[in-house]
Chain A
Amino acid sequence: MPAAIKKAFPHAVMLTYVAVILLPFLFVLFSSFKANNVEIATRPFGLPKTWAFENYKEAWVKAKINVYFWNSLYLSLSSAAVGVLLAAAAAFALVRMKFEAVSRWIYQYVLIGMLIPGNVLFIAQYLLVRNMGILNTHWSLFLPYTAGALPLSVLLIAAFMRSIPGELEEAAIVDGLRAPGLFLRIVLPLTVPALVTVFIINFLGNWNEYLLANFFLSKDSLRTLPTGMVGFRDAFQTNYALVCTGIVYSVVPVLVIYTFLQKK
């Protein structure tokens, strides 16, 4: 018997934790179908008495969640992709090309960025973006997002590239491959695991980003999900069911994509 308990104990711990993770989702999901605040307050975990599907129609129309969602998605994807490419190219040159002295300097210079907490530069970046005349366009997020990911990306990709044995390249060079070809055909494919990791980290960072998105954009049609949702809450804060519906809208696609990727 003790053996069974021993086996069950870790699961008990984990299931409790999983419950803590999932309960808030469940609460919001149920609330989103409820007719009014009173029902949410009195029966937080009860199923809705009548399923108020019209909340979903209303929230969709009022919150433009589809717009926010696509803005977030393509900004996060494009800037994560460009960031990874730029970082990989730089890392390749720093690690593999024969300019060690310069590379060491550049490397240190890029690493300084690791020490700067992102939001420290917020005000100055705001002024920069404004002077560049790209405030209130998606460039004002794309560029800082891409740039912001560089230090960590270069660090991780460079570390990974160092571990790739040099013989492969030497053979490739003997075969007449030049540096760009070497990068694209040999090094990049070998670095894919690191690139994927870095891409995911960057993507999540961009997807979550609130501070810049909140202050660099003010047009509703340009807003990303994080800021769009906060605006939605501010407008309908006392209509709990409606805001919960908004949360469901913003959460479900992400969860679907996530589980889909998990399976692969």
Chain B
Amino acid sequence: MKKTCTFVLAATLALSALLAGCGGGGSDPASTGGTDTGSSPPASSGESGSTDKVEKFTMSLRHIQIGEPQKFRKAILDDVVKKTEEEVPGLKFELDGLEDSVNRFTKLPAEMAAGNPPKIMSLFGGAGDAQKYAKAGRLLDLTPILEELGLKDKFLNVLDPFSVDGKVYGLPIGGNAEGIFYNTDIFQQYGLNPPTTWDDLIKAADTLKENGITPFAVGSKGAWVPNMTINTFIGRLAGPETITGFTTGAAKWNSPDVVAAYTLYKEWVDKGYFTKGELGKEYGDMLNDFVAGKAGMMFDGSWRSSAFKNDAVGAAVAGKVAFVSLPPLPNGKGDQTSVNANYGEGYGFSADLNDNELKAVKAFIKNMYSDEMQLRGLLEDGVLPSMKLSEASVAQVSDPLVKQVLDVLNGAGATFPHFDSVVQSKVYTETETQLQKLIAGNVTPQEAADAIQKVQDAENAAAAAE
């Protein structure tokens, strides 16, 4: 391997020299502008003579706060960035915004494999994300930093998806509950009760359907979106502990209860409860349809609540949206008030940092994970705090929608996580593939469940062998 490397290097040098000679016409393909190629800047300046001269350095920061619906979260990030740049002399962040799933499922995995992730990055917790990268040694162990900054005990009990062997590798910015957003105007117009009981929910769906309104907006081009619904169906039909049982073997995807969840989803597809052509719709389309009044409800995460403010994309329905938990299922198992609550989205940091960059990371953490920003996240963005906030702070919430989200969480007898943060990535991939096939009508619920369980068995066996 070493040999090939040296050869490649030699060949490259030879080539660059040749190219430089050939391409003399002024065409220089090297990057313009920022010259930082990721790992080059030396940490300590050798000359001690100019200690007061500030060494300038740039740091890459990958975030997913792009587009209109994310603007509140982006504003918080911008403020943290500005503050951190002021505090750390010479620091300049290079912000790189990517669409969530592009970052999570395409860019970041590739960069992690390549060993050159951004210095600071948007990161999800769980076996397929933070824990996988942490085990591969790509992420910075934050435990000493948390200790140093006195943040260790400030977080709620939400760091597990970001932890490996008791060490913390990422920090969630906040939490969310998943449930049903519904358009109160439309519900009023058709004389419908809020969808707080199963019968009311089904009646609402049927009524809306009859009147040419899509009951549930959904955009299933990215299968994680319908997977949210499946996730809660499974939690309710098979019991909240099911989700964590897949990897231990305590629960099976093809058990009758879990299959029932898939069957229910398919039933709703067949009944026309979901957006027509959902497989071609993006996540953004889902919000669009809901805001446009084309759909009366949507099953989504509470992070969407900030889209329905007066100055946001969903302004058209501002004040006309309510949030409830999925009502108790008639043939459900376990606690029927349980909700899918998760603290998945956060930030992680590259393990490959020099002293200056480490300083910047510390400042970033200090500024991002502060009471102030947590409260702003709650008030401005409707994201539940991942850190302990005082009662007085939480009481400042005035947005009725955010209040409803808090009510849902407070009223939940149990919570269960997203299975994407629990199961191995290959299994999760299979759930996406199979769910889309199920929606397309290519497989039956039983076949889909069997296929997922097959991958689960293989992965569990592989994990046991290690």
Q: Which positions in A face B, CB cutoff 8 Å?
A: 37, 74-75, 77-79, 81-82, 85-86, 126-128, 130-139, 141-143, 146, 215, 218-222, 231, 234-239
Q: Give 1 or 0 for each of B12-37: 1 = CB within 8 Å of chain A CB.
A: 10011001001101011111111001
Contact of A238 among B39, B97, B287 (CB under 8 A): B287
User: Within the assembled complex, what's the spacing in Å between the Cα atoms of A137 and B12?
Assistant: 14
Residue B107 at the chain A interface, CB threshold 8 Å: yes
| Pairs across A and B, CB under 8 Å, 29 listed | A74-B27, A75-B29, A79-B29, A81-B25, A82-B19, A82-B27, A126-B114, A130-B116, A134-B37, A135-B114, A135-B116, A136-B31, A136-B116, A137-B30, A138-B31, A139-B29, A141-B29, A215-B106, A218-B107, A219-B34, A219-B60, A219-B94, A221-B33, A231-B98, A235-B67, A236-B68, A238-B284, A238-B287, A238-B288
Cross-chain contact A235 with B99 (CB below 8 angstroms): yes
In the bound assembly, the distance between CA atoms of A219 and B25 in angstroms comes to: 26
With A135-B116, A138-B30 already in contact, the answer to whether A237 and B285 are too (CB < 8 A) is: yes
Q: Which of B17-72 contact A (CB under 8 A)?
A: 19, 22-23, 25, 27-34, 37-39, 60, 62, 66-68
Instruction: Give Cα A37–Cα B66 distance, bound, in whole angstroms.
Output: 20
A139: B residues at CB distance < 8 A: 16, 29-30
In the bound complex, residues from chain B placing their C-beta under 8 Å from that of A130 are 114-116
A residues near B25, Cβ cutoff 8 Å: 81
* Measured CA separation A37–B62 after assembly (Å): 31
**In the bound complex, how far is the Cα of B215 from the Cα of A182, in angstroms?**
76
| Chain B CB within 10 Å, residue with most, of A126, A127, A130 | A130
Q: Using Cβ atoms and an 8 Å threshold, which residues of chain A touch B29?
A: 74-75, 78-79, 138-139, 141-142
Residues of A within 8 A of B111 (CB): 218
Q: In the complex, which residue of chain A has the Cβ closest to the Cβ of B67?
A: A235
Cβ–Cβ < 8 Å partners of B66 in chain A: 234-235
Q: A138, A143, A234: which has the most chain B beta carbons within 10 Å?
A: A234
Chain A neighbourhood of B202, CB < 8 A: none
Residue on A with the closest CB to B38? A136
- Pick the contact of A82 from B22, B114, B284 — CB < 8 Å? B22
Residues of B within 8 A of A141 (CB): 29
Distance in angstroms between the alpha carbons of A130 and B39 in the assembled complex: 12
B14 nearest CB across to chain A (Å): 12
CB distance from A80 to the nearest CB of B (A): 10
Leading 9 A-B pairs by shortest Cβ distance: A78-B27, A142-B29, A234-B99, A238-B288, A130-B114, A235-B66, A238-B284, A235-B67, A138-B29
Q: Which residues of B contact A237 (CB under 8 A)?
A: 282, 284-285
Chain B positions within 8 Å of A82 at CB level:
19, 22-23, 27
Partner of A126, one of B5, B27, B28, B110: B110
| B102 at the binding interface (Cβ < 8 Å) | yes
B461 on the interface (CB 8 Å rule)?
Answer: no
Q: Does B329 contact A (CB under 8 A)?
A: no
* CB <8 Å contact, B27 and A81: yes
Contacts of B96 in A (CB 8 A): 218-220
Determine the distance from Cα of A63 to Cα of B111 in the docked complex, in whole angstroms: 24
- Nearest Cβ on chain A to B92's Cβ, whole angstroms: 13
Tell me, in angstroms, the Cα distance from A97 to B259 when the chains sit together.
72
B37 (CB) vs chain A CBs: closest residue:
A137
Most buried by A among B106, B114, B288: B114
B38, A131: Cβ atoms under 8 Å?
Answer: no
Give the complex CA separation of A82 and B107 in angstroms.
Answer: 30
**Does B149 have its Cβ within 8 Å of any Cβ on chain A?**
no
Contact of A222 among B23, B27, B31, B97 (CB under 8 A): B31
B136 in the interface, Cβ–Cβ < 8 Å?
Answer: no
Does B156 make an interface contact (CB < 8 A)? no
In the complex, A218→B95 CA distance in Å? 11
* Alpha-carbon distance A79/B30, docked complex (angstroms): 12
A234 / chain B contacts, CB cutoff of 8 Å? 66, 99, 102
Contacting residues, chain B, for A235 (C-beta < 8 A): 66-67, 97, 99
**What 0/1 pattern do residues 74 to 97 of B give for CB contact below 8 A with A?**
000000000000000000001011
Q: How far is the CA of A136 from the CA of B31 in the complex (A)?
A: 9
Do B110 and A238 touch (CB < 8 A)?
no
CB distance from A89 to the nearest CB of B (A): 9
